[in-house]
Amino acid sequence: MYPNIKAAMAVSAMLCLGFVSSAVLAGGTVIDDDMTRRPAGSVSGDKVSTVEANCPADPSGNAWQGAEAELEIKQKGSTSKVEIELEHAVPNTVFTVWLRIKGKNGLNSAGSPLTGGGATPLAPGTALDSLNDNSPWGANPGGSATVANAFTTNNHGKGKFKIKLDFPVVGGAYPFQKTATSRPGFEDLPNVPTAIANPADAGQGSTPFLIRVVSHCTDGVGHGLSPGTREAWFQYP
């Protein structure tokens, strides 16, 4: 099951901490479901940006209320494959995908050890250095449309996001230890494996989401470890 001893030790450690579910160890599809559409007037994390305010209106003027998204997650051992399919959304637009780290009842109360944020890009730990470079404080502060957690819709508003991850999404922990980088001011937080906050887990029912999909209608780029200006579209659950 495990590609190397380090992977086996990582899963063993997460088992001891209660982070790994039986579904993770068994492998196969652990989630195959529709994502929930956020109302077009919902503010994003910046408390200002909305789809209605920031994104071009659809032909019927209803702020893309017909948009749909499906999520599939497959897991085996210490890895995951995630696929998101988006339809009837704003066309020719960059979207990014995010994973919740800050939970409830004391789970990761400091948020991401790299940024202090409540979520981190849904990308492998090996992509953290590149994501940091494309953050507002990094080597490319303007961001990029091709960051690891990004995809772009076509001129019909369809888009697909597929990614292989070096950690289990369901019942797992994010491998922040795979980078030595950090947002300025957060260097004192240790970059260690951090439990993923899942509303389906005990004590986490009021955690806002496991995975969220946002658009970047105002600037057309992802901003690495920072969500930047964004509009909330979908989340799971």
Using DSSP, state whether 226 is helix, strand or coil: strand
Mean pLDDT of 46-72: 93
pLDDT above 70 coverage of the chain, percent: 89
Whether residue 7 is predicted with pLDDT greater than 50 in this model: the reply is no
| pLDDT of 179 | 96
Sign of CA dihedral 229, 234, 236, 237: positive
Whether residue 1 is predicted with pLDDT greater than 70 in this model: the reply is no
Whether residue 149 is predicted with pLDDT greater than 50 in this model: the reply is yes
Mean pLDDT of 183-207: 95
Query: Cβ distance 163 to 124 under 8 Å?
Result: yes
Rounded to the nearest integer, the mean pLDDT of the chain is 90
Whether residue 24 is predicted with pLDDT greater than 90 in this model: the reply is no
Query: Cβ distance 164 to 81 under 8 Å?
Result: yes
Backbone angles phi, psi at 32, to 5 degrees: -150, 95
Task: Give the residue extent of every domain in the chain.
Answer: 5-236
Whether residue 52 is predicted with pLDDT greater than 90 in this model: the reply is yes
